[in-house]
Every structure is written in structure tokens, then in C-alpha cells.
Structure 1
């Protein structure tokens, strides 16, 4: 059954929700990740958080490549073709039964091309078990229209439109079916299926900000040409380069940063970033490759990034991304707490929530209990009575754009499995557990256990004489 998402506070940004199910990939024994506007992966080091985030990004980034160039005779595709043929030139609702047809087709394509998909994504031949999208639900069913003289059009949460034609070939039906399938699954979180290239990057593509951003920002000119050329060379064992596709894409993103006209997202968020986090601004000088400079507040001189502090180089990609006006729908940030003092980690939590409340999906891997505590604070603050909430917001420097609702957030803990299991693969693998919000927010067992052990040491080492 494909459930309807209840309307809540109006802050939801996705018309669709689904769960990505994977088995036996890397260290992950099994995982079920349900997408949401804000996702946190937390847990042990070397437990597969980046693996899982890379796969999620890959589904959004490479998923369009799964669709065939020619009409298929597979049973799952023919069901989609039959339904569309029967509804040509009619206004139709893409209800539960219709969605199930397209979900089956996409999962068949993902299963058939999984090996190539993973090799392209990880730059290495990867073995895996099942991988599929499950438990699709939509808040408002999409509607299908045919209009004279109109182009293909998708309006998030509302409808899909096709131009009317005197005759529809199987090739045209395939093109329309691909468009329907992609927008049902990815319309709110990934790039449009057919869109012109703008500044070397398609409109709406997901952005991946990897860990070690400082290293990339300081060495991108040396890394860029060699890494991109190497990663374009496919071999039987994967690409010849030394980076996974999200890292290559991040280098390409840096290469295409350029100052852009003001945009609404930057206007709303850049002042917060520059005032509370970077204490200054970034400039982009366009040469063969862009050259980035930092200008501290109240200082006229521009400073090259390589002589700034690590907090500046870590935050530079966020500022430059906003300045570039790249219209991403989803951003993945690994370890946003890197190099940040706890006071700045509070601001980073606010910045992330502000992105979410500006209709961007933000998916995060983190080891920071400080960031998660501030996320809990913003969840709790939203539940306070209006008068009390306003007083607390003024006291602790929050605004309405910092408020967060439970239904906007999902949190997953990655834990190394130490149970005595018969299967050695499962015994040595990672267990992924969804954490549900409690009365006071999310409780993270792995963080709490570590903090309790530290406190035990503190009390033990103090001794009776202290």
C-alpha cells in the first residue's frame, strides 16, 4: 500500500518519500534509509556512513543513466507502456497502482545495472546484495496532462505535462515513461531529466561536500586536471583515477564556481554565514581556473586561502556554492563540524536547518554531539507555546527560520556488529538503526555511551582527596 503523507506544519519540502534498501555492500549488512529533508548519519568510525551517503548521492546523480535508450520488452516496462498508451491525451492521476508500475520498472533497471552503477560510483568493482527503492508514498498524487503545443513540464507536487501529438511511437512513449518515472521518484530532490547544461553543471544536481574539504580547497588546481581525466577512463576494474565519483564531482564543482548575480537563497543565508561563521566574505576571481580569496570583515585586503585558518577553508565551499547561484536541490555534507569550535558548531546546526527551511534537502554524516544537541534544541523550541518560544528565541539568538519539526528529520546510527552471529559477514558488518525522536529530541546511544565512559574516568581519576 502506498500511503499518503499527512499534511503537517507546511514545512515539508518533499511530495514524495521512499526508502532505499541495500544489503551486503562494503561493511553494511543491511540498511533501510528513508529520505527526509534532513538526514543525519551518526555512529562508529569506519562503519559505512560515507558508503551509504555515496550510494544515496549516486541514485540521485546517476539514476538517470539507468534508463534504456530503446523501448524494452521486459514485463515491468511493458506494463508502464500499456498504462501510458491507454491514457494518452487524457488527464490522469498517478495513483498508488500507477506508481507501483513505475517503481517496479526502476528497481528492475537498478538491479540489472547495479554492478556498473557501483563501479562508476566507487571507482572500484563492488559486490553487493539487493538494492532497491521501497515504501513509496506521496503527499499529493501527481496528475498527468497533455496540452497542445506544450513542452515536457514537471511542477513539483502538482503535475506532469506532455505535448499532444498525432501519433505516439514506442520511442516517444519510452521518453515519456522515463520522464514520469524519474519525476515520481526524484522530482523534488534531483536534477530534472531533460535540462540544458548551465556553466558546465546541470540545474538541480545534488552537491556532495566531502570530508577533507580544506585539502581540496588548497590543492584543487593540482588535483583537478589529472583526477578528472583519470576518472573519465573506464576499465574492467573501474576507473583509473584514485577518487570516487563524489570527490571528482566536488573538484568539478570547484572548477565551475563563478560569481553569479544575486539569488534569493544567497540573499537569505549568506549574511548569517558571513556574520556568525566566516567573519568575512569570499571572492571569486575568474581565470582559467577560479581563484578564491578571503576578505576579513573590516579589512580591505584580500587574502589567499592557503594562508587563512582551517575554519575558513572548511567553510569556503558553502559560501562559494551560494555565491555561484547553482540551483541544487539536495546537498550532502560530510563532517560539517570539522575544525569548528563548539560555538561555531551551534551556528553550523542553525545554518543546516536554515537550508532545510529554504526548501533544500540536507543529508549529513557527523560525529558531533554538539550539532545534534542544537538540532534537538531547535526541535524542542518549535514545540514551546508561542509567547514562551518568542522569549527564548530572543534570549538565545534564534529566528523562526531556525525552528525544526520532527517530521523533517531522520537519524540513523551505524554500529559495528559485535553479536555472536553464525554468518561471519553479518558478524563483522554494520547494523544501521533508525533513531526516533523522543520527548526531548533524538537520543544517540553511541554518543551517550562514550560520554558516560569519559565521566567514569573523570570521577575515577579525581580521587577521594580532590
Structure 2
């Protein structure tokens, strides 16, 4: 697994019932806690920032203080190779935060397809493990390209206009923030091709998989085909949900050796069969059992329709660097929840950034087990007994768990729970289980 170069925290104020939240990026992020406490709000916001953030950059140079500082740095260092230091990096983070402050309303309405209020959103605690190198090449054909995440290259010119500088600064800023996590600032011109944008798997996956053809037609018409005054709220979906529907249209089987182990795990341990796609105007998806029986999705179990989009994503030629999965435990028996948790860990260890929202103590217990097993004195023995390998184990530094709790007041509190080598304590889970156990003992005693 190649480590992500950059770390930063998404600072949020006054979003829904949340007064404040600070979400630090990690290879595996788990949102746990109460229903209706804001987990999906922040998940969608993070997805929107990574997938739509590049569209926020201005089309014209600004005279704002933060942007001018970036422009001056670029002018001072043009046509000479240089390694950015932390001070230079912070200029660009300050500029992006200035953009967020100016365009937060536009961003929220674009993500949610509704004017959701947010008080503040900004990037904090930015850090790169290796400072970014900026090089100037005479044979460069465009204003920004990079063959690796630690180097950005620009073309040599005798004179750069302010528009030139804006394009270079925008590319450099986006690269600093998101290289290796989402699509590059300048993407391939092939329309509809995904370049690494994050994938959002909604909690209602089964419903989408069974009705995607009707939903896609109606949602696109409602969101893009009618005047604002005509459509009202009829047929609206949030942008992550629309993106998921569009993702389904790109399902087409393609061999990807680097993801074959993950595919085999899902097919053998959860689906007990395989999925096949026949390309048409919309893909025709069928499930084939281990006994060779081919079935349309609408006559399969909910387990199959839940797993289908994840498995088809891995079997398709779809590029993605991060994935958000809402309620991966949906419709799964506890044993299958445990296997899903194992898949999530393996997916993260394959190099993807993974965020889940969950109410499953089974999934979180498996994560605890994999944290403990990594340093267990009988590690080799236990791994052999349960069939684990290194791709199943977790390092505490790669896991962040956020607990959403709104039982104590009208506001939701978002707490960054401590993750140790011997696991995580989740108060809202523990309190609910303790209360349930007390009820069980009381009923048993009185019977």
C-alpha cells in the first residue's frame, strides 16, 4: 500500500444539528453513533469536496490577499526548480480556505441539491510527509502535469500572464490537497471517464440496483431537464446519489489484476456466485450462482443486491481512489457483517481511502480484533487458525473513529475516539449494549 502524502483536517461549524466537527483524514474512517445525527451530512460533504472541489477555483485572477500571496510566490520561483516548504504550502491552503468561505453556499447546494446551511468549512492542520517539488520543463505542453505525487511540472515561458499564473496556481493547490485521493485538476478529455473521483455507496443500494433505469431517467430529468420554477422538489436526489446512478451505467467487466483478490473474496465468501454485465443503452446485470444458474437482480436476495455495486465496481474499469460506504452491514447476517468488515480492511490495505458510516457493533468488533491481532503474542497461531494474512490486519495510526452523539442535548457532538493497538472504546455502543444486557438479565430472573 502506498501511503497518502498529505494529511489534513476538515473543520466544520454549524451544519445541521452539529455545532462543530473536526474530521482528520485517515486511510480508514468510521462514523458511528446515533441515527439522524449528521453522519451522512459529513460523508456527503467530504465526498463533494473531493469530487467537486476543483470546480470552485475561480476563472479569473483574484486581488484577494490569499491569492495574491500565491501569485507572488509563483512569480518569484518561475522557471527554476524548487521544493516547497511548509510556509509556501500554507499560502495555498489559505487561498483554498478563502475560496471555500466565498463559495460554501454554492458547494452545499450543489452537493445536496438543496440550500443546506453551513456556518464554516475550512482545511486545518495540513501536513505533507514529503514536500512537493516544482519543476519547469521546456518540453511541457500544458500548465501542470505530474508523473508522481511528489512533483509538479510546468512549462518554461519567457512571460506568464495572470491567467497563466492562475491555471498553474490552481493546479498546484489542488495537487497539494488531493493528489492520490481524487481526480487531477486537468483530466482526460474523454467525456464521462472517471479519473479517480471518490465513489459514494448510499445506504439504499438495493433500491437503486433494482430500479436504476427508471431512477436514472427521472432524476436526470428532474435535476437537469426542467426549469427551477417548474420542478420544485419533485424527483430530486443529492449529487452523491445521482453520481452513484451514473456510476452504474459505467459497469463493464474489465480485468484488473490488482483487485482480483478482493473480487474473489466477495464472490466466494459473500455472493457465492458472480455478476455479469451485458452492455446495452444501460447495463443489464445478472447474477450467476455457483451452480451456474443465471438470474436477474430483481429475483435475487437483498444480500446479492447489496453486494452487487461494490463487486461490479471492482470488476469494472472504473478508476477510484476513495470510497464512502453507508451502512455496509445493511441486510447482512452477523457472520456476513464480519466478512464485510474483513473486506473493508482489505480494501483499505489495497491502497484505497475508505470511509464507512455504521451502526454495527459486529463490524467495529472485527476492526478491534484486527487492531489487537497485529501485536498479539500468538499472532501467527491465531492468523493460521482463522485464515487471516497481513492484508487483514490494521495499524492504529491508519484508523480514525468518530462518534456522533445527540442524546445529551439538542446539538450533536462529534468526538474523535482514541484508537489504540488494543482497540477502540465506543461509548454509545457500550451504553446501549449494557442497557440491553441489564434488561435481558432482569427478564431472565423474573421468568
Q: Structure 2-normalised TM-score?
A: 0.96
Task: Tell me what 1:104 maps to.
Answer: 94
- Alignment match of 1:48 (pick from 6, 24, 38): 38
Counterparts in 2 of 1:67-82, with a 5 A limit?
Answer: 67-82=57-72
**Conserved? CA contact 1:123–1:238, under 8 Å:** no
Task: Tell me what 1:458 maps to.
Answer: 440
- 2:352 and 2:180 map into 1 onto residues whose CA distance is 9
Q: Please state if 1:381 is matched with 2:373.
A: yes
**Conserved? CA contact 1:354–1:402, under 8 Å:** yes
Query: Shift of residue 217 of structure 1?
Result: 0.2
**Conserved? CA contact 1:16–1:188, under 8 Å:** no
Task: Tell me what 1:94 maps to.
Answer: 84
Query: Shift of residue 238 of structure 1?
Result: 8.8
Q: Identify which range, 308-317 or 129-138, moves more after superposition.
A: 129-138
Aligned length: 443
Counterparts in 2 of 1:354-393, with a 5 A limit?
Answer: 354-385=346-377, 388-393=378-383
- Alignment match of 2:340 (pick from 325, 348, 356): 348
**Conserved? CA contact 1:107–1:132, under 8 Å:** yes
Task: Tell me what 2:250 maps to.
Answer: 256
Query: Shift of residue 154 of structure 1?
Result: 2.6
Counterparts in 2 of 1:35-184, with a 5 A limit?
Answer: 35-151=25-141, 152-184=144-176
Query: Shift of residue 199 of structure 1?
Result: 6.7
CA 1:172–1:439 in structure 2 vs 1: closer, same or farther (change >3 Å)? Answer: closer
Q: Please state if 1:284 is matched with 2:280.
A: no
Task: Tell me what 2:297 maps to.
Answer: 305
Query: Shift of residue 239 of structure 1?
Result: 7.5
CA 1:242–1:186 in structure 2 vs 1: closer, same or farther (change >3 Å)? Answer: same
Secondary structure of 2:60's aligned partner: coil
Task: Tell me what 2:183 maps to.
Answer: 191
- 1:235 and 1:59 map into 2 onto residues whose CA distance is 24
- Alignment match of 1:23 (pick from 3, 9, 13): 13
Listed one character per residue, the Cα deviations across residues 378-436 of structure 1 (whole Å, up to 9, x for unaligned) are: 11111135xx32221110121111111011110000000524xxxxxxxx221100001
Secondary structure of 1:23's aligned partner: strand
Query: Shift of residue 100 of structure 1?
Result: 0.8
Task: Tell me what 1:8 maps to.
Answer: none
CA 1:166–1:238 in structure 2 vs 1: closer, same or farther (change >3 Å)? Answer: farther
- Alignment match of 2:240 (pick from 243, 246, 264): 246
- 2:375 and 2:218 map into 1 onto residues whose CA distance is 51
* Pairwise CA RMSD: 1.7
- 2:13 and 2:227 map into 1 onto residues whose CA distance is 26
Q: Structure 1-normalised TM-score?
A: 0.92
Moved over 3 A (4+): 233-241
- Alignment match of 1:215 (pick from 185, 207, 214): 207
- 1:21 and 1:246 map into 2 onto residues whose CA distance is 21
- 1:12 and 1:444 map into 2 onto residues whose CA distance is 29
- Alignment match of 1:396 (pick from 370, 386, 391): 386
Query: Shift of residue 197 of structure 1?
Result: 4.8
Q: Please state if 1:226 is matched with 2:218.
A: yes
- What stretches of structure 2 of length at least 5 have no aligned partner? none
Listed one character per residue, the Cα deviations across residues 98-157 of structure 1 (whole Å, up to 9, x for unaligned) are: 111001100111110111111111111122211111110111111111112134323454
**Conserved? CA contact 1:333–1:364, under 8 Å:** yes
**Conserved? CA contact 1:119–1:238, under 8 Å:** no
Q: Identify which range, 188-197 or 398-407, moves more after superposition.
A: 188-197
- What stretches of structure 1 of length at least 5 have no aligned partner? 1-10, 420-427
Query: Shift of residue 221 of structure 1?
Result: 0.7
CA 1:439–1:172 in structure 2 vs 1: closer, same or farther (change >3 Å)? Answer: closer
Q: Identify which range, 311-320 or 389-398, moves more after superposition.
A: 389-398
